[in-house]
Structure 1
Amino acid sequence: MSDRPSAMFVCVHNAGRSQMAAGFMRELSGGQVEVRSAGSMPADQINPVAVEAMREVGIDITAERPKVLTPEAVEVSDVVITMGCGDVCPYFPGVRYEDWVLEDPAGQGIEKVREVRDEIRGRIEQLLAELLPATADQA
């Protein structure tokens, strides 16, 4: 087990919202948080508009691939953030769950995806302040 807190981001296709959230968490935590993402029905590839929107803020998620949600990945996470995957996410006592209601960027233009991206960033910053309170005070 790692001493670092861990966060898992889950959406249906693991191609947009959860990938953007994972990208922000990796970048903004500076490696201080173990990051996972998955989907209940993973897509074949990440949404290219989400990739473009993240590139605009200096975060490259092109190497990421949608992954299937597994109970094991959920169980070893400290916090699981769901984004529209409904009741398919397994529940384990002791794991913190949050459901972030965010518009699905699938099929949306870059303007809408930017809005979703920026909302995700704000939520990640708040979550980081909770997971790493000492480092947040130094930021």
Structure 2
Amino acid sequence: MSIDNLLIVVDTISIHRKLLDDIISHCEEEYPNEACGILAGNEGMVERIYRMTNIKNSPVNYEMDPMEQFRCMKEMRAKGLKLIGIYHSHTSSSAYPSRDDIEKAYWPDLPDTTVYPEACYMIVSLVGKKPEVRTFIIWPEKIDEIKLNLTGEKGKR
């Protein structure tokens, strides 16, 4: 087996405070509906975010526009970026994967096969006075929270 075939799972995601502020702003702008987007970068460091349109227009569910997602993946490949994760908001529940979030992480006909095995899932809860942000790896049998390391100077939050 070559090293190219190994799945590397990180226990920490690093993101600049400005990018995290942009994610939270996106989630607040889409409220009361869920917002969604893609985290791109390399080796656990988020270098760029891609805001996606939630074609469900729902406060309890999201689905990324497939054409936007395709263009995003194409641009990421051209820029040498990899998929770090997927972010979305919870407008009426905590920052923890819902049953729907867990189901979305797996192919419908292959319940033990993740759609994006290398991806983490960042959830922004807008329930409290301040947004709560947590990041997870969703496995078939469990959910692991991973650390979120903020870089850069303090932002507006």
When normalised by structure 2's length, the TM-score is: 0.28
When normalised by structure 1's length, the TM-score is: 0.30
Name the structure with the higher helix share: 1
Determine which structure has more spread, i.e. the larger CA radius of gyration.
Answer: 2
